Chains A and B, each alone.
Chain A
Amino acid sequence: MTNNNHQRIRLEAVSKRWDDTTAVDAISFDVTPGQFVILLGPSGCGKSTTLRMIAGLEEASAGRIEIGERDVTRLPPGDRGLSMVFQSYALFPHLSVADNIVFGLRSRKVPKAERRERLARVAQLVDLEAYLERKPAQLSGGQRQRVALARSIISEHPICLMDEPLSNLDARLRGEMRREIKALQARLGMTVIYVTHDQVEAMSMGDRVILMQDGRIVQDGAPDELYSRPASAFAASFIGSPAMNLVKLAASDAAAVIDGETEVAVAPAAAAGGQLGIRPEDIEVQPIDGSGVPAEVIDEEYLGADTILQLGVGSQRLRARLPGKHSLSSGTRCRLAWAPEAAHLFGADGLRRDDLTPVAFSATVARTAGKGGAGAPSSTAGSTHP
């Protein structure tokens, strides 16, 4: 168990096909020991299927799965040396919490004394000591979740797979359990592969996020990489809340403008036909006599800590997130600005275009010559509301 190589997981061109549908299409990745890896994606993207193939609950149609130095592609789940937490928890309803936790140890014929000792240790770890005699039906959602966790921890397998383990909990508990799972993983040095469709879980828990779409990997990197350099328009729209604004770019003179808005060039001409992405929190709203892209407020949504503005620019719509409370009646004219490095360009195929650099609002600069700094850093967006 102490040998870290036992925990390495490698997938090589693994696919899963049912008749004529391909759920997972030749994906490959390596997980290093002790890593907390998130498989993220919308429902139907193949993330759960990938996890179940690693677990051995589904057989891979093609490709190779290695755990440690072993090829486990055709091994039964019980021989792969991993544990799993299910979305439904999969607790045995007729067994007490204690019996649920030691179920696997009994299957593996662990002696009774050792079972009791390990149970005591794990129950303390997940704070379940007072509930060991209860049946799952007598527990709250969070407690059931803990039993499921305890069951996978007690097996002392170095690898733990989690399939949307928090999706049945309410928002507050979810936040709590996120921190607990993360802390447990760090403390026990487990390798975790965690499936979720919730980007907040992915961002807050993962050391590394693998974003999937239609059975393929879209982007594989650290959470801040996915946030700051999304590899495609899909990745951009999936990470962040509210999602990144994606507006269509049209050609105009020698540059690209936001579709329907011809006044301010935002990107080089080659970007036309593609999309411009700006995160709502990177948009700075300025008075109409200021500088930037002209826009019109459509409505506002006050969320307490910040306000989300719906804005119309040309034929496109954007959202801007301003800290604090703002009262902008709909129809108010204003101007939008953002730092050039906060703007992301995507080609017509949806892929990121690093060959182009967004324009720092040359038109505005030209019109309000002397004022300068139109594309000024936007970190203080809230301070400049009309």
Chain B
Amino acid sequence: MKHSYRVAINAEHCKACGLCIEFCPQDVLGFASTRNDAGFYPAEVQDQANCIGCLRCAMMCPDACIEIWRLVSADDRVAAAESVTR
């Protein structure tokens, strides 16, 4: 089952070091075009569909501003329940 993921970046805490962008194997992330309150161009999600949920960005982020969520659709949950009952 192929999962899809949502990467959430706390743009106000991001200091634009770029490590998440460098270490992302799928080129999901990039720099935003607008500044945050501290004056940095924070990292933002640019290609959400490509994310494979490997957590490399979250592991490298020095400011702990990345959170990653797995999307579980209603179909997935039905399939999971069926696989348990089967």
Note whether A and B form a binding pair: no
